[in-house]
A = this chain, B = another copy of it.
Amino acid sequence: MTIAADMLTLAREAKKASRVVATLSSQVKDDLLRHMAADLEKATEALLAANERDIVAAHDKRMAAPLIDRLLLDDKRIAAMAEALREVAALPDPVGEITGMWRRPNGLQVGRMRIPLGVIGIIYESRPNVTADAAGLCLKSGNAVILRGGSESLHSNAAIGKLLKGSLEAMGLPSAALQVLATPDRQAMLELLKLEDEIDLIIPRGGEGLIRFVSENSRIPVIKHYKGVCHVFIDADADFEMAERICLNAKVQRPGVCNAMETLLIHKDIAEIFVPRIAGALRQKGVEVRGCPVTREFAPGVEPASEDDWGAEYLELILAVRVVDDLDEAIAHIQQYGSLHTEAIVTRDYASAQRFVREVNSSTVLVNASTRFADGNQLGLGAEIGISTTKLHSFGPMGLEDLTTRKFIVFGEGQIRQ
């Protein structure tokens, strides 16, 4: 009962503050972000001390080494957090942009203007840098933000949050525009997810379990990022050197991320030559290849792929390979097993490229480029708040613009409806 009341108070304060943040000029918001960056750097020692408490607790809980590494802050990572805030400050402000304006037959001038969403809740796991990143993106786009990090980074998040609230206060801005839930209590999160009148959007960032939990328990709209089962299709007409380069980059450069390739589809007309070539190149890089029967015929030693391999998000050096009859079968495979994240075609054929771009409705579709480009920074959005694999509001990498909506603005000279 008291938790519910606390959450309601916190969310109402955020909503009130959101109205102030919504009307700030770009200049004030950019000053704020640069102020926050400087405050983070100045407080490095205090942040490291808070982080140390999380690290000790993680060791006590015998957390796995890679997870502890994700939690860890050091001088360099704090400097990177500050730098990220300065980069967001340098991006164009989406608020107030008029995306179109037209005149109606009765003389009314009608346009659409970008405005902030209001209050955004970010629910995330482990990495403490998300606290600063998400705060910067939400405030720059004129929104208030409620941050709920994982219990394992509780002290780090609380320290970063307190510091950034201080930056708001120092500039005479309402610190309630940035709320950090400094409790590991799941009940508090559940209460928050009910407050559809106060909070406009929830963005969960973390594993599929967290995202499903949040979306099943939320009355507030949730932008989901499920998994990335990314495909590359090598067309009959592909340049083999380019195909190999793209496949290796898509699979090997950073296998643990959502835009890495998980399944390679190869046109049957080139299977005899390209399958052994790419299987050899992948194995040289330490990739375990699991193939369909045709793949295995042309590349002996490849493990058989089971039905579960199609659609698997390995996030490690394993790749499923399938030889397909043609572009139609490649597209059908992607529709059946894909996750709507990112798919690429490698081809020299104009018609294949056009059809792939038109007919594959994943959030990012590439011709002759690595799937690894499916990222807000790489695509030119500036910083990224997440990648949506559901179609409502945003689809694909999300930048500042995705934290806004548009209202209709109408300028008249006394017109009335007939």
Contacts of A416 in B (CB 8 A): 245-246, 248-250, 253, 369-370, 372
A61 in the interface, Cβ–Cβ < 8 Å?
no
What B residues does A411 contact at CB under 8 A? Answer: 353, 366-369
- Which chain A residues in 11-43 approach chain B with CB under 8 Å? 19, 22-23
Cβ of A277 < 8 Å from any Cβ of B? no
A215 at the binding interface (Cβ < 8 Å):
yes
Task: Knowing A365-B409, A406-B395, A414-B368, say if A104 contacts B378 (CB, 8 Å).
Answer: yes
Tell me what chain A mostly uses at the interface: helix, strand, loop, or mixed.
mixed
Residue A405 at the chain B interface, CB threshold 8 Å: yes
CA distance A215 to B335 in the complex (A): 28
The reply to whether A405 and B379 form a contact with Cβ atoms under 8 Å apart is: no
CB of A201 to closest CB in B, whole Å: 6
A216 to B201, CA, bound (A): 16
Whether A183 is near chain B, meaning CB under 8 Å from some CB there, is: no
Taking the closest CB of chain B, its distance from the CB of A255, in whole angstroms, is: 13
Contact with B along A130-158 (1 / 0, CB 8 A): 00000000000000000000000000000
Proximity string of chain A (285-324) to chain B, C-beta cutoff 8 Å, 1 when within and 0 when not: 0000000000000000000000000000000000000000
CB distance from A375 to the nearest CB of B (A): 8
Q: Are B370 and A104 in contact (CB under 8 A)?
A: no
Contact status of A391 and B104, CB under 8 A, knowing A96-B358, A408-B379, A416-B246:
no
Contacts of A253 in B (CB 8 A): 416-417
**A390 adjacent to chain B (CB < 8 Å):** yes
Residues of chain A at interface, number, CB under 8 A: 68
CB distance from A304 to the nearest CB of B (A): 28
Asked if A413 lies at the interface with its beta carbon under 8 angstroms from chain B, I say yes
User: A394-406 toward B: CB 8 Å interface, digit per residue (1/0)?
Assistant: 0111000000011
Instruction: Provide the bound-state CA to CA distance between A380 and B412, in Å.
Output: 14
**What CA separation (Å) do A417 and B246 show in the bound complex?**
9
Complex formed: what's the CA distance from A234 to B240 in Å? 70
Question: For residue A359, which residues in chain B have a CB less than 8 angstroms away from its CB?
Answer: 23
| In the bound complex, CA of A239 to CA of B239 (Å) | 70
Which of A47-55, A68-76, A110-118 participates in binding chain B?
A: A110-118
> Are A392's CB and B393's CB within 8 A?
yes
Is A213 an interface position by the 8 A CB rule?
no
Q: CB distance B410 to A405 under 8 Å?
A: no
B221 touches A407 (CB 8 A): no
From 331 to 372 in chain A, residues with beta carbon under 8 angstroms from any chain B beta carbon are 335, 353, 357-359, 361-370, 372
A363 and B414 within 8 A (CB) = no
Given A118-B391, A391-B118, A417-B253: A408 in contact with B363 (beta carbons within 8 A): yes
Interface centre among A115, A353, A407 (most CB of B within 10 A): A407
7 A-B pairs within 8 Å (CB atoms) are namely: A110-B380, A239-B414, A249-B416, A253-B416, A357-B409, A367-B411, A370-B415
Q: A200-B391, A365-B408, A395-B407 are in contact. List 19 more A-B contacts (CB 8 A).
A: A117-B392, A221-B390, A221-B392, A246-B414, A253-B417, A357-B409, A364-B407, A364-B409, A364-B410, A365-B407, A367-B411, A367-B412, A369-B411, A369-B415, A373-B415, A374-B408, A392-B393, A393-B393, A396-B407
Return the 5 tightest CB-CB contacts between A and B, nearest first.
A369-B412, A249-B416, A372-B417, A242-B414, A366-B410
